[in-house]
Structure 1
């Protein structure tokens, strides 16, 4: 028998800033991505739905290296977790309906802190829509591909095939990023960095909206 899961009228979207390095620009890039999404929603609102956003900074979670005695896919959250930091993380993710992952690329891969935060949970992520925006000196495309495999293949989330990879456009901007300095991204900055990619990010967001607003059939 096939049952249809209907999308709630209020949809909560998590904007996940994936870098946990002490010196990082991830929160700036996540804010930039969020500003483009919110700007696009003013022009193209999602009819019949109210969208709320929550930014999650992985670097501020202070999650230790996975320390639960059980396997997440075998745990009924959040009561089944032993530690309060896991239960709090479980509640936060369970309350969200879709995700925009904004990730840097570390040595051609996914940042360790982001992978650790993902691996803490399983059922809280499962089946939820997501997209990936990556950034870095080379755009972060390898990290984006790896993250899509982790989320779509491993956890069975519903991902958009496309990603957006943002390359730092100059040595000056790259230097600022490595030092964790202000990149001048809007809001409230006015630097031209990645202004030509706003349309790509908006288009990716609209693909996510397509997943968000499509009911899922569960067999």
Structure 2
């Protein structure tokens, strides 16, 4: 479900018009379980996959994580991707588009917010929660949003641009 939701959000964010948007699929990034011998805060990466991931995150001013709930918690691939780096995340805002069953992935978001704050990121209170996500994906694997989901995304993106502009000062 992640790819259809992510593809919908990329198009929605492009339509919002205040961001350059890039879809980064962690499946395609293909990070192994953390395999760097030195702590990420040192930035002394030995593996090419880490250097590529570092360049991707460094080049971004803000993030929206599209994430499911996994056993009442954060998705392991997202946690691994966050843990791979440190300084690249600092002082950047993030929003969440979560999906799942009845909870819409909200428990995952709450758990992941604890992690991103330790990376000195600013998680937004505004977000997009999609309960019963399977009802929004058609036979062609295309996500179909509704007015509530679209409005939630717009509110989150409006806040994200405010925080993005404000946080640039801390990173300069």
Which structure shows the bigger proportion of residues in helix conformation? 2
CA distance in structure 2 between the aligned counterparts of 1:94 and 1:100, rounded to whole angstroms = 15
Partner of 1:205: 157
Q: Is the 8 A contact 2:129 2:149 kept in 1?
A: no
Partner of 2:115: 150
- Relative contact order: is structure 1 or structure 2 higher (C-alpha 8 Å, sep ≥ 6)? 1
Q: Residue 126 of structure 1 is aligned with which of 90, 93, 96? A: 90
Deviation at 1:99, TM superposition (A): 0.6
CA distance in structure 2 between the aligned counterparts of 1:34 and 1:83, rounded to whole angstroms = 29
TM-score by length of 2: 0.88
CA distance in structure 1 between the aligned counterparts of 2:16 and 2:62, rounded to whole angstroms = 17
Kindly indicate whether residue 28 of structure 2 is the aligned counterpart of residue 60 of structure 1.
yes
Deviations 1:48-70 (A, max 9, x none): xxx32111001111111101111
CA RMSD of aligned residues (A): 2.1
Kindly indicate whether residue 169 of structure 2 is the aligned counterpart of residue 216 of structure 1.
yes
Partner of 2:132: 168
TM-score by length of 1: 0.70
CA distance in structure 2 between the aligned counterparts of 1:163 and 1:211, rounded to whole angstroms = 14
Which structure shows the bigger proportion of residues in strand conformation? 1
Bigger Rg, structure 1 or 2: 1
Partner of 1:114: 78
CA distance in structure 1 between the aligned counterparts of 2:142 and 2:147, rounded to whole angstroms = 11
- Number of aligned residue pairs: give it: 169
Q: Is the 8 A contact 1:132 1:148 kept in 2?
A: no
Gaps in structure 2 of 5+ consecutive residues: none
Deviation at 1:88, TM superposition (A): 1.2
